[in-house]
Amino acid sequence: MEVFDVIGIMFFGFWLFVPAMLPNTAAVFFGKISKTKMDFGKTWKGKRIFGDGKSWGGFIGGGLFGVVVGLGIIGINTALGWAEDGGYGPFWSNVGLLFCLGFGSLLGDLTGAFIKRRLGMERGQKAPILDQYDFVAGAFLITALFYPDWVIANYLDGWHLSSLILILVTMFGIHRVTNIIGYKLGLKKEPW
């Protein structure tokens, strides 16, 4: 296999993962619409379950935003001839995969918030590695649960592993940049 083929595989896998990368950012915007907290203010063992940063509006809006972004990617992939099936499979598989990627990333982030609360960490407190990769793990785990063949074919099989490596290597920087932008726009209280 030639170098340009491997680079193409890497970036196509990264491109297919975009519907999992954007829901957390979108959730910040949608969280302003419906502020009902996902844990309804409840505690578990004396600590909030998720905290004030997780709302139903953000969860639903962010997840659906990932699905819409994915549908746009399918359209682009199909129009440019990059993938006959849009890169996600037949239509209903497309929709299912996009839901798994979008909502899986938010479930990963929610799990990260749950872990941070158990460790006694406040909302917005830095948690290196957990902050950058909880949504990546959630998206991959949920998608692999329902569409294992797609995850293996696009991220684990042969040179496709390079796509996973690219995602893991770049995610730290992407997370940092989006948080700084959110902070500058007044959407986040901390730039991390």
**pLDDT band for position 192 (50/70/90)?**
low
- Bridge partners, residue 74, by sequence: none
Tell me, what DSSP letter sits at residue 189? Answer: S
Contacts of 164 (CB under 8 A, 6+ apart): 13, 155, 156
Position 81 pLDDT exceeds 70: yes
What is the model's pLDDT at position 11? 95
What is the model's pLDDT at position 190? 74
What is the model's pLDDT at position 80? 93
What is the model's pLDDT at position 135? 96
Position 160 pLDDT exceeds 70: yes
Tell me, what DSSP letter sits at residue 49? Answer: S
Gap between the Cα atoms of 118 and 84, Å rounded: 45
Gap between the Cα atoms of 11 and 122, Å rounded: 36
pLDDT tens, 23-79?
998 998 898 888 899 999 999 988 999 998 899 999 999 999 999 999 999 999 999
User: Whole-model pTM?
Assistant: 0.90
Residue of higher predicted confidence among 84 and 20:
20
Position 182 pLDDT exceeds 80: no
Closest CA to 166 of 177, 154, 176: 154
What is the model's pLDDT at position 123? 81
pLDDT tens, 94-139?
899 999 999 999 999 999 999 999 998 888 788 888 988 999 999 9
